[in-house]
Amino acid sequence: MAGGWDGTVGELLAEARARLAAAGVDGSDREAAWLLAHVLGCTAGALAARRAEALPPAAAAAFGALVARRAAREPLQYILGTEEFMGLTFQVSPAVLIPRQDTAVLVEQAVAWLTRAAEAGREPVLVADVGTGSGAIAVAVARLLPRARVVAVDVSAAALAVAAENARLNGVADRVEFRQGDLLAPLRAESGAVRFAAILCNPPYIGEAEIPGLMPEVRDWEPRIALSPGADALAFYRRLAREAPSLLRPGGFLAVEVGAGQAQAVAGLFQAAGFEGIAVYPDSAGVDRAVFGSVAP
């Protein structure tokens, strides 16, 4: 097989596993199977019954090309073009961060806060997702809160195109509006009489000095603008804490995802800005991952 890709399903999988493992890819067995299943248009589980099957040259070559991309540490999600988040399928490309399970706590708690507000007589009408990227937060909130309208903001036109397609694919395009611009600036286009029930944000929070230590899949492939604000890892939280209150309705809240070890510092910024009822929530791994704060009712 040296110099080319040919052989049976079993032989190709073994070769792919070896190449991915040599490149430092964790879970090389699993990822090789996913890549071949993608080429063949079947499930990874179906490959076991096809191990003795010889692949046509075109399929074998296509598989080899995908393995080479993954061995170069291109994220599997970019190669396959999709990622799952909160039971929904999202298209992804190098224009957007790959949705992560870490973010689920932000969505879950935001929906809980908005639901409690609705039960208290304030229907969750208008929600903002700032720095929407793939649209994962905006789309998930819209799916979980059928009466809500979401305004999704990003500085990147390419990211907004991906997010808009994800809203369409997940059936919420009629309730998610997309605006391009820097942080909260596009939200000010709303009428002065209309304010948001919630502003949600997963901002860039990795300090520039930390970037070299990231996994190659993140460091070399995901959009740097969505990873790091520069030297000050808390730069966007400072701006959000300062600017969000004027855009929130009475009793509305700001909720942000934070990096490991940042929760208390961000909670302090919220407190200094006058937010009330500040709460910190851990992700599924027990890492403090989301900070919430409300404005006075």
For residue range 24-75, what is the model confidence (pLDDT) as tens digits?
A: 999 999 999 999 999 999 999 999 999 999 999 999 999 999 999 999 999 9
On whether residue 3 sits in a domain, the answer given is: no
Distance CA 259, CA 287 (A): 9
- Tell me whether residue 225 is in a domain: yes
Task: Give residue 125's pLDDT.
Answer: 82
CA 236, CA 225: separation in Å to the nearest integer?
A: 12
Q: Do 15 and 129 lie in a common domain?
A: no
Q: Which residues are annotated as a binding site for substrate?
A: 202-205
Domain count, the chain: 2
User: Does residue 156 sit in the same domain as residue 226?
Assistant: yes
pLDDT given for residue 207 in this prediction = 97
pLDDT band of residue 122 (cuts 50, 70, 90) is low
pTM confidence score: 0.94
Mean pLDDT across the chain, nearest whole number? Answer: 94
Distance, in Å, from the CA atom of 3 to the CA atom of 255, rounded to the nearest integer, reads 52
Task: Render pLDDT for 197-208 as a digit per residue (tens, 0 to 9).
Answer: 999 999 999 999
Together in a domain, 103 and 59 = no
Same domain, 197 and 289: yes
On whether residue 77 sits in a domain, the answer given is no
> Of the residues 72, 96, 112, which one is the last residue of a structural domain?
72
Residue that terminates a domain, selected from 27, 53, 72: 72
Percent of the chain with pLDDT over 70: 95
Angle CA 208–214–134, to nearest 5:
85
- Residue ranges for the binding site? 131-135, 154, 202-205
Mean of pLDDT values over 265-289:
98
- Output the pLDDT for position 66: 97
- 163 domain residue, yes or no: yes
Q: How confident is the model over 89-100, as a mean pLDDT?
A: 98
Residues 129 and 41 in one domain: no
**pLDDT confidence band for 78 (50 / 70 / 90):** very high
Q: Is a pLDDT exceeding 70 seen at residue 189? A: no
Are both 38 and 142 inside the same structural domain?
no
174 lies in the same domain as 236: yes
Asked whether residue 29 falls in the same domain as residue 107, the answer is: no
CB atoms under 10 Å from CB of 191, counted, come to 6
Are 65 and 91 found together in one domain?
no
Going by the annotation, the residues of the binding site for S-adenosyl-L-methionine are 131-135, 154, 202
pLDDT above 50 (res 2): no
- Per-residue pLDDT at 192: 60
**Residue 239 pLDDT grade (very low, low, confident, very high; cuts 50, 70, 90):** very high
Q: How confident is the model at residue 296 (pLDDT cuts 50, 70, 90)?
A: very high
151 with 262, same domain? Answer: yes
- Same domain membership, residue 196 and residue 66: no
Is pLDDT at 233 greater than 50 in this prediction?
yes
Structure tokens at 162: 């991906």
Residues spanned by the domain of 45: 9-72
- Predicted local confidence at residue 193, as pLDDT: 60
Does residue 2 belong to any structural domain of this protein?
Answer: no
The pLDDT value recorded for residue 271 is: 98
Alpha-carbon gap, residue 280 to 292, rounded angstroms = 6
The answer to whether residue 4 sits within a structural domain is: no
CATH code of residue 200: 3.40.50.150
The pLDDT of residue 138 is above 90: yes
Residue 1: per-residue pLDDT: 47
Residues 152 and 264 in one domain: yes
Q: How confident is the model at residue 6 (pLDDT cuts 50, 70, 90)?
A: confident
pLDDT at 190 over 70: no
Q: In this structure, is residue 78 part of a structural domain?
A: no
C-alpha 185/C-alpha 243 separation (Å) is: 9
